[in-house]
Structure 1
């Protein structure tokens, strides 16, 4: 194991798990959580997208690192501007307003940190009516929103009063072109990183939206990607990628060179332990279950099937 790999495994040690698998319409617990945001008062906002065949629990939930649960808002599915249909990503701007993208409503919905609806931009509103299938969202150092339009393969820069300042990127597979892009983030110098989902790569643009570089290629080896869904940049410039199709997280240096892989090390959360305490049949079944099947038949020996049979590792990280 390389020294850099050892160092990063030390620096990114597992801390805890928060949550509980729940298909209920209300109350604490997640089902297909798609994104996460943090407020200045240390609250955690989790976007609960739900499974496509069971959408009644769509909402944003609020909790904290100590497992306290504070409520929820934006229940869906619904057709009004304050409700969600197929929400994708969330993020706070510098005014503590929470932006939520909804790819089916073709809208950006804005709430205060208490969950009160403020306004919406996109279809059936008075602003950015041409918005199409927004996915990832982040903010530059001026407080402008950077929003991915996944079907158009483009990025919008939007002022905090809802005016489009810039559009860059186009659909395709050449450098600087995007094919169903998803997650987006900026670094300390306002460079922009996009998870180019269908092209199996990360693309980097400068603060003005000019193409700089891309890294990653299709595959399951080190540094290769399969449908990367989100990207983040650490304070020192390391690039962290949710390698969704390979059921893992990969870390690259600031130049795009592979550093290490994280597979996940989850333990039983406080919420789950409390639930099992009052559901003894489930607890007994858990004690006799094999939660980490190490050997699978050859036709099931894929990252997806391994993840589905091993509780502590990532399964569909977005």
Structure 2
């Protein structure tokens, strides 16, 4: 894949344009005419005042925001994790602190919430919803990072299927996170602490495992997100290894991305009115790859090298098979397109 653009700029302000520890995105497309990106701004503040959803066009025209803690109790978030649109452009947002899925229309108006069953195993534990995926029939799949299971729900929120359990065997989980449904209706789950991706059919029947623990090609360290394109290629946010790996559906690695960020439109606008900062950037070498020996590992190379991924937490494909990689620690989105 080749880089297309970078979106975003860092801002720790509680309102307005700019990202602060983003966690996930969802993309609304209007028959190829336009794309609107909804970004979950998790924030790292103890007050969570910056926690909200921002939305903007693919061309980086900022539209608005919602879910800020300053809003009413129904609409605000506490610890949101992931996003997904249903087939009616209703945005579903998991909140691990309140054990619910909050649902908004595409303008950010709160519609309703689905309270998740925190006592499904009879032990009274918190559910801790993390990943969410919605299939072509609007069935909702949600992963529980505390109970280590997957629930399948009707659009109204009724549980129709549940599977999983704590462990490392097929169909078991250890803190499952991001998910996606492919065009065949199969579900892919980023099994975070087990360092793998698991694939299931729509009824929860185990089909396949991708990856294993490690730092090599085809191995994962704390994968947080998974996305499947129209050709059934599987993109994995290999968060702990500071990279994204792309596999064919059989599991062979076809690409490894480490990031190739450019300055975003918003960054250029900021530098246009902060000329001393632009001059400092022009004097600096921001692509130093020959780091000291004690910094030659994935984390330090990522944190010290601006164009590389740092905290790639989420991967999503659009209808044109463009890949969007959200970086938690560098507060931006990198967009890639398939190689011709």
What TM-score do the two structures reach when normalised by structure 2?
0.85
Partner of 2:38: 45
* Residue correspondence of structure 1 range 255-266 to structure 2 within 5 A: 255-266=250-261
Higher relative contact order (CA 8 A, sep 6+): 2
RMSD: 1.6
Distance in 2, Cα, partners of 1:81 & 1:132: 19
Residue segments in structure 1 that go unaligned for 5+ positions in a row? 1-11
Aligned position for 1:30:
19
Do the aligned partners of residues 53 and 297 (structure 1) sit closer, same or farther apart at CA in structure 2, a change above 3 Å counting? Answer: farther
User: Which stretches in structure 2 are left out of the alignment for 5+ residues?
Assistant: 120-125, 314-340
> Counterparts of 1:111-260 in structure 2 under 5 Å?
111-122=104-115, 128=117, 130=119, 132-260=127-255
Q: Which residue of 1 aligns with 2:63?
A: 70
Answer yes or no: is the 8 Å Cα contact 1:78–1:84 preserved in 2. Answer: no
Q: Which residue of 1 aligns with 2:318?
A: none
- How many aligned residue pairs are there? 303
Q: Which residue of 1 aligns with 2:75?
A: 82
| Superposition deviation, residue 121 in structure 1 | 1.9
Residue by residue over 1:271-318, the C-alpha shift from the partner in whole angstroms, topping out at 9 and shown as x without a partner, is: 000011112232222222231221222222211110111111111001
Larger fraction in strand: 2
Structure-1 separation of matches of 2:105 and 2:166: 33
* Pair 1:18-2:13 in alignment: no
Alignment deviations for residues 160-179 of structure 1 (CA, whole Å, 9 cap, x no partner): 11211111111111111110
Structure 2 SS opposite 1:272 = helix
Task: Answer whether contact 1:223 1:250 (CA < 8 A) is retained.
Answer: yes
1:280 to 275, 290, 296: 275
State the alpha-carbon separation in 1 of the partners of residues 36 and 156 from structure 2. Answer: 25
Task: Write the distance in 2 (CA, Å) between the matches of 1:239 and 1:201.
Answer: 12
The offset of 1:57, in angstroms, is 1.0
Looking at structure 2, the residues matched to 279 and 25 of structure 1 have their Cα atoms a distance apart, in angstroms, of 22
* Distance 1:76-1:285 versus aligned 2 partners, 3 A rule: farther
The Cα shift of 1:51 comes to: 1.9
Report the CA distance between 1:52 and its aligned residue.
Answer: 5.0
Give secondary structure in 2 for the equivalent of 1:273. Answer: helix
User: Whole-Å Cα distance in 2 between the matches of residues 116 and 83 of structure 1?
Assistant: 11
How far has the Cα of 1:54 moved from its partner? Answer: 6.4
For 2:6, what is the secondary structure of its paired residue?
coil
Superposition TM-score, scaled by structure 1 size: 0.91
